[in-house]
Amino acid sequence: MSFINKHVVKASAPLKSAHFPFPRGEKLFDAMSWCTTDYYTKASSGQPFEARGVLVIGESRQGKSHEIKRLRKKFNDGSVIMPDGRPVKIIHCILSGKVTWKDLGVKILGLLGYELKGRRTQAYIWEKVIEYAELQGVVGIHFDECQHVFSDEGERTNQQILDSFKTLLKETRWPLMLILSGIPSLAMHVAKEEQLARLLRTVHFESIDVTQKTDMDELLQLTFSYAEKAGLDIGSLATTDFLERLAFASCNRWGLVIEMLIEAFTNCQIHGDAICSTEHFSNAYSKIYSTPIGYSPFTIPNYRESFDQDKLMDILKRTR
């Protein structure tokens, strides 16, 4: 008995490694290029300067982290060389819960490979962050799920975090570019610190709007692109009704659509089917949301009245 299903691995691996070129990916690249070009130009002068950053906003499961990770991997491949002749990189820090700025400094030091010994002050910790970032050629930090460090009640703490982000951008010895990503509420918090907001370029990851032809066309291209990768026939599913059901079942989140496509096409392949049907998508829906098989937006006539998207997202939060 093996815990690894090799048939599933063979079917799903090419799909999970695939990349669909969304227009938002181009906007994100432009924003990161803007920051990097600005950083390089200022660093060339040899004078103290402030860095810029990117604010990436969108509902959960829109694919923000995936797109940023893809560009960060390209950035970190050694091809970005600063005026001092060294290749540079951007590190990633996920914020899973409420933390103090001191705690965050300790976490960043860990990512930089520095083992903190004994009790240290917040100032000491962040001095070490700057020191080791410079030594290792780290010119930026991606703070993922950034909304978690803010709260509606902690106005004073929120301002301290905002001031600290601003300080990293303005650190004259070794400024750090920032990528702050999170849900839409993050933008409201950032807007409260005018100087920080001025240094950030915002990239929006919008939800699917089935009333927009551009979104429907993109949804169709995405579906056919993954089907082609899987070597499956989905001609019978190329209808407006199916695409609207796919968007609805995925709570209008692009990331969830991709997850649904991968699950459905994998299901189709391991059963030896060459033609993908609504049944495969219904089974994929049941697996993703942990619901009974056969009851899904792909099979129920009045699906909009039968399913609540907010509750579906709650299910995902509880099961993931």
Reduced to 3 states, what is the DSSP secondary structure of residue 91?
strand
One digit per residue, pLDDT tens: the chain, 320 residues? 678 988 889 989 999 998 898 999 999 999 999 999 999 999 999 899 999 999 999 999 999 999 999 999 999 999 999 999 999 999 999 987 778 899 999 999 999 999 887 789 999 999 999 999 999 999 999 999 999 888 877 788 889 999 999 999 999 999 999 999 999 999 999 999 999 999 999 999 999 999 999 999 999 999 999 999 999 999 999 999 999 999 999 999 999 999 999 999 999 999 899 999 999 999 999 999 988 888 899 999 999 999 888 888 887 776 65
Q: How far apart are the first and last CA of the chain?
A: 26
Q: Within 10 A of 194 (CB to CB), how many other CB atoms are there? A: 11
Q: Tell me how far CA of residue 5 lies from CA of 18, 143, 226, 253, 270, in angstroms.
A: 20, 35, 21, 28, 10
**Cα 315 from Cα 307, distance rounded (Å):** 12
Q: Is the sign of the CA dihedral 81, 28, 134, 132 positive or negative?
A: negative
pTM over 0.95: no
Rounded (5°) CA angle 137-141-144: 155
Provide the 8-state DSSP code for 296: S
Nearest C-alpha neighbor of 207 from the set 288, 93, 291, 309:
309
CA–CA dist 179, 62 (Å, integer) = 17
Q: Can you give the pLDDT at residue 87?
A: 97
Closest CA to 285 of 272, 306, 273, 275: 306
Domains within the chain, CATH numbers bracketed: 23-204 (3.40.50.300), 208-319 (no CATH)
Q: Side by side, which strands form the sheet with 138-144?
A: 89-94, 138-144, 177-182, 53-58, 200-205
Torsion sign, CA atoms 82, 86, 87, 91: negative
Q: Cβ atoms within 10 A of the Cβ of 89, count? A: 18
Q: Are 164 and 39 in contact (CB under 8 A)?
A: no
